[in-house]
Amino acid sequence: MSDDAVLEVTDLHVSFPGEKGRPLAAVRGLSYQVRRGETLAIVGESGSGKSVSSMAAIGLLPTNAKVTGSVRFRGRELLGLNDKEMSRIRGAGIAMVFQDPLSALTPVYRVGEAIAAAIRVHREVTSDAAMRRAVELLELVGIPDPARRALAFPHEFSGGMRQRVMIAMAIANDPDVIIADEPTTALDVTVQAQILEVLATAKQATGAAIVLITHDLGVVAGFADRAAVMYAGRPVETAAVEELFAAPKMPYTAGLLSSLPRLDAGRGVRLRSIPGAPPSLAELGAGCPFAPRCAFAVDLCRTTEPELLEIGQGRAAACHRTGEGLDLMAGPSGDSGLADQDSDTAPEAASDAEGAPTEPEAPAKPEAAAVAEPIVGAEPVLTVRDLIKHHPLTKGSIIRRRIGTVRAVDGVSLDIAAGTTLALVGESGSGKTTTVMEILRLRTPQGGSISVLGQDLEALNQGRGVRRRAQPVRAGIAAVFQDPLASLDPRLPVGDLLAEPLRTHGHGKTAGRVRELLEMVGLEASHANRFPREFSGGQRQRVAIARALALEPRLVVLDEPVSALDVSVRAGILNLLADLQRELGLAYLFVSHDLAVVRHVADRVAVLNLGRIVEYGDADSVFEDPRHPYTRALLSAVPVPDPVVERQRERIVLPGDPPSPVVLDGDAEALRGCRFRSRCPLYAALEKPEARELCESTDPALTPVGDADRSAACHHLDAWVPALVQSGTVA
Amino acid sequence: MTAEELVLAQEESAMTAPEPVTLGRGRIVLRRFLRRKLAVAGLVILVLMFALAFIGPYLSSWNYKDQDYNNFLTGPSATHWFGTTQIGSDVYAQTMRGLQKSLIIGLLAAVLSTGVAGIVGATAGYFGGWTDRVLMWFVDLLLVLPSFLILAITSPLFHGRTWLLFVILLAAFNWMVTARMVRGLARSLREREFVTAAEVMGVHPLRIITRHLLPNMASLLIIDATLNVGGTIIAETSLSYFGFGVQPPDVSLGTIIADGTDSALNYPWLFYPAGVLLILTVMAVAFVGDGLRDAMDDAAGTASSTSTPGDAA
């Protein structure tokens, strides 16, 4: 097998000098081979060593890194080559695609020049020929009007287009290996689908092997042939993708797979969560690094680290108990595997904390039980009608003149009943966050009306003492933001953070409530004296959730609450949110771009595009039978972490980028008709001119669909309904 | 989380074992500050300096105003521990008197100037809009007006008043540049999510400034205050020209150093005692400032670096 391998990494070790002279081992013994035309995925969470290993392979690590082992490219040893020799291979033989294309492209070069320069570094061609080739490459990666766009600068491109340019540059010299480091992580889901297609095209055009580094198992399932799962710097399982997803042999892989929220699973299914957090490299002990989080750990695991052993054709796993035929996906019979604890300081607390359906030990409020089940016709905690938020777009620094309008939110109506979850879904620029901030700031809306807990904001903001009168409303609504490290003041200990809302709202004694809150979210009372930085990501988000709950709110706004977290701790947070909702009767406004997560938590869904709701209704019904073409495209773009399903699915890839909500002054054309039609596959497929004319002339309003509880904004709702998610997999 | 932090956490939980006590930020910062040897040493030096400045004069039989007509410009001896000046004043007595003045003037003016800079800058940066424009206009005005000119014009008004006025004047001409820096920081901090989080919780704007903005620029403020201590002690001499505060026969470290600089090589005793005390003061303040900064900023390494090493398994 190794004879036709283009890139062969054997026993790669990378370490950095750590504090107190102890080296930090970032990669410990990674081996893999890739052949031409093959895609190998390296999967892992932050700190697993997946990026460092590929940087080591192409010699791009800082000089203080110590690299040992062997990296062979077409039989030639790369480790130990000097920078000049490596430069000849980098870009020509091995190419890279980075996560953030804006920082990877030099801002002062036109993209065509940049690609041409990449060609001329390795080949003796005239600059004209190189430029012509650059235009060809841009066309290959799907950049419209490539000859003109080649003369544009990187900042004039959108994120997705920049990533296409990066791919064009990567394939410029017909490389044998393309290393793609999280190439789609920074992109919207519809753009991610496009970029994966472009990568596939690039692979076909060059016949190169692709090493795809990612944390997204959905992408792996759809795109890779083989996968290596890394944990704490070591590969813990390697297998063909189908086998990996069907029968993982290492408890970590199994845990990851079963903790993923899936688009094709039903709502409210409890996720299995892996307790604890990924270990830091500085604190690795003698045993298996996964043992503290592993439900199957035996004494041997805590003393000896298992070797990665071959267990079949192209298959290897690093686990002492591989041969025992355990059913890893089913989980152990005991409760410990299901524990939601994510505190790595208290493993004993983790094991006896909460089992599958928890006994609510938190002080249940009297009304909590009453609203546990969403009651039909329950009083709304939030009502938004035709909300509008436009900001002027100005130009010039001394004399500002208005050149257009950013129509961030352009007529949004929402209702949330007590104790239920409404999810707000959309791509970047769709107005999700603006909508949420308009609600949270409790100001008089620019247009339309907002009523929080029965209190109309316009009435609230009139007259005297607004601040004082707004306090009870503020106490009833709380927020959890995306990145807990950013939303928790780094200079305040957790106790003070949790006490802040209490003190703001005039509660004198806070110590008792702080302790109660910490326990409610699965942390310990002694954590109150620590600072946010001393916690892991999942624990920090628990602190943020505890702070939101301090005043016993009735509505909690969750703005992308799990997007910034590692995959293995997401499930714990989602389960916690579900438990809290049941125990405290909370209503959630859940904002997310991740449809799989939304599928898991939402009772109702509102799909946002360009500041408008295009589809609104019961979550089950929207996900199983999406009616608006945008919803359909969004759903089909989300990768399902199951290679069998993923490869059979019919995909609707939306052309172009998420459009910008900016409308220039005097551009009446932009406001005419349905604003989605430029990307709409349905509009493109319409045959009758009068049907197209309708889309071009009239802006569709939300109209009821089917049962009374759903609505969608499209003129041609009944035109064409392809099956998007395989019907058999819908639970 | 590192093993050391675990140890630290265990220590903390052990200390508060039976009923976990939630400590506020102040208590935690104090505890961390006290763990830092250098910072505590700085604090001890400062306390000793104050003790020296106020008890020291009683140890010698000479008063700073006295003149010994038998000894002009004599070196250190049993009667004059640090020697005498050109007009026969006892250098030890003068230095002690100078230390008294300078410690109070330096520390007070530094804290005052940094405090004003912090509050004005953060208010301007946080509120933005008209508040920002008016406050920054005022800052710019003070920056472009030559402070010495104003002093020269107004000096007859203040002549012969208390030293406290002098401290206020010193601070008043010193805070503007820092205020501008603070404003810039506040503007970027205002966009941070934790400020948004506090706003939507309904925290009062002034509380956001004092509780969230200022602590998050503590490094800048502490460094600024530290530098100001040494700076004001020296700057005070130049203001003395205008007849403020320390006037002969009264002395400060600044005036002693200014007078002694010319003869530092020939008659070192005129210069060195005051110079060494000034250096010690500024160093002690710097240590305290450093310790305070580290205690507020919980960078993982520094928090645990002084906790029992060796326990870390």
| Percent of residues, chain B, with pLDDT higher than 70 | 84
Of A280, A475, A490, the CB nearest to B1: A280
| Percent of residues, chain A, with pLDDT higher than 70 | 89
- Comparing A19-23, A269-273, B257-261, the range with the smallest average pLDDT is A19-23
Closest-CA residue of B relative to A346 is: B6
Of B9, B12, B201, the CB nearest to A504: B201
Write out chain A residues lying below 8 Å of B28, CB-based.
493, 529
Write out chain B residues lying below 8 Å of A488, CB-based.
194, 197
Query: Which two three-digit tokens encode residue A308?
Result: 């990665």
A173/A670: higher pLDDT = A173
Q: Does A197 touch chain B (CB under 8 A)?
A: no
Query: Crossing angle for the helix pair B272-296 and B218-240, nearest 10 degrees?
Result: 160
- How long, in residues, is chain A? 731
- Is 60 exceeded by the pLDDT of residue A355? no
d(CA B210, CA B303): 24
Q: Does B26 touch chain A (CB under 8 A)?
A: no
- What average pLDDT does the segment A16-38 reach? 83
Query: Which two three-digit tokens encode residue A267?
Result: 């709502």
d(CA A507, CA A501): 9
Place of tokens 């977290």: A565
- Comparing A218-222, A262-266, A576-580, A723-727, the range with the smallest average pLDDT is A723-727
- What average pLDDT does the segment A546-566 reach? 89
Write out chain B residues lying below 8 Å of A525, CB-based.
20, 22
Write out chain B residues lying below 8 Å of A500, CB-based.
198, 201, 203, 211
Contact A529 B1 (CB under 8 A): no
Please give the pLDDT value at position B12: 42
Please give the pLDDT value at position B299: 53
pLDDT class of A556 with cuts at 50, 70, 90: very high
d(CA A246, CA A12): 28
Contact A493 B212 (CB under 8 A): no
- Percent helix, percent strand, percent coil in chain A, to nearest 5: 35, 20, 40
- Comparing A456-460, A653-657, B160-164, the range with the smallest average pLDDT is B160-164
pLDDT class of B120 with cuts at 50, 70, 90: very high
- Is 50 exceeded by the pLDDT of residue A107? yes
**What topology is assigned to B38-60+96-305 in CATH?**
MetI-like fold (1.10.3720)
Please give the pLDDT value at position A329: 66
Closest-CA residue of B relative to A490 is: B216
Query: Which two three-digit tokens encode residue B137?
Result: 């206009």
pLDDT class of A557 with cuts at 50, 70, 90: very high
d(CA A385, CA A413): 4
- Comparing A208-222, A414-428, A605-619, B256-270, the range with the smallest average pLDDT is B256-270
Q: Does B22 touch chain A (CB under 8 A)?
A: yes
Please give the pLDDT value at position B180: 93
- What average pLDDT does the segment A606-614 reach? 89
- Is 90 exceeded by the pLDDT of residue B134? yes
d(CA A463, CA A224): 62
- What average pLDDT does the segment A582-601 reach? 89
Write out chain A residues lying below 8 Å of B24, CB-based.
493, 495-496
Are B183 and B210 in contact, with CB atoms under 8 Å apart? Answer: no
d(CA A175, CA A351): 50
Report which secondary-structure segment, H or E, holds A231: strand A226-231
Contact A504 B218 (CB under 8 A): no
**Amino acid found at A75:** G
Alpha helix segments (H runs only) across A13-100: 50-57, 83-89
Q: Residues A469-513: pLDDT tens digits?
A: 888 889 899 999 988 888 999 888 898 899 999 988 888 788 888
Among the ranges A263-272, A580-589, B26-35, which has the highest mean pLDDT value?
A580-589
Q: Residues B267-313: pLDDT tens digits?
A: 878 788 888 888 888 889 889 988 888 887 755 433 333 333 333 33
Are A430 and A608 in contact, with CB atoms under 8 Å apart? Answer: yes
Please give the pLDDT value at position A317: 87
Residues 6+ apart with CB under 8 A from A154: A101, A102, A105, A106, A107, A109, A111, A114, A162, A165
B211/A363: higher pLDDT = B211
User: How far off is chain B from A480, nearest CA to CA, in Å?
Assistant: 8
Q: Does A436 touch chain B (CB under 8 A)?
A: no
Contact B216 A515 (CB under 8 A): no
User: How far off is chain B from A572, nearest CA to CA, in Å?
Assistant: 19
pLDDT class of B119 with cuts at 50, 70, 90: very high
- What average pLDDT does the segment A169-185 reach? 89
A655/B17: higher pLDDT = A655
Q: Does B249 touch chain A (CB under 8 A)?
A: no
**Spans of all domains in chain B:** 38-60+96-305
Please give the pLDDT value at position A362: 38
- The alpha carbons of chain B give a radius of gyration, in whole angstroms, of 24
Please give the pLDDT value at position A212: 92
Of B28, B201, B299, the CB nearest to A474: B201
- Comparing A350-354, A429-433, A540-544, B275-279, the range with the smallest average pLDDT is A350-354
B301/A685: higher pLDDT = A685
Which residue out of B193, B296, B297 would a mutagenesis test of the A interface target, given it has the greatest number of A Cβ atoms within 10 Å? B193
Please give the pLDDT value at position A102: 76
Write out chain B residues lying below 8 Å of A19, CB-based.
301
Q: Residues B150-202: pLDDT tens digits?
A: 777 777 776 666 677 778 888 888 899 999 999 999 999 998 889 999 998 88
Distance (Å) of CA A615 to CA A622, A625, A704, B244:
8, 11, 10, 75
Question: Domains of chain A (ranges plus CATH)?
Answer: 2-231 (3.40.50.300), 249-264+271-352 (no CATH), 608-729 (no CATH)
A322/A131: higher pLDDT = A131
d(CA A488, CA A532): 7
Average pLDDT value over all residues in chain A = 82
Write out chain A residues lying below 8 Å of B21, CB-based.
511
Contact A282 B300 (CB under 8 A): no
Q: Is the dihedral of CA A628, A629, A634, A636 positive or negative?
A: positive
**Amino acid found at A622:** V
Distance (Å) of CA A693 to CA A259, A583, A609, A643, A676:
47, 52, 21, 41, 14
Please give the pLDDT value at position A430: 84
Closest-CA residue of B relative to A553 is: B201
**Secondary structure class of A729 (helix, strand, coil):** helix
Quick one: DSSP state of residue A142? T
Q: Residues A381-404: pLDDT tens digits?
A: 899 999 998 888 877 767 777 888
Q: Does B248 touch chain A (CB under 8 A)?
A: no
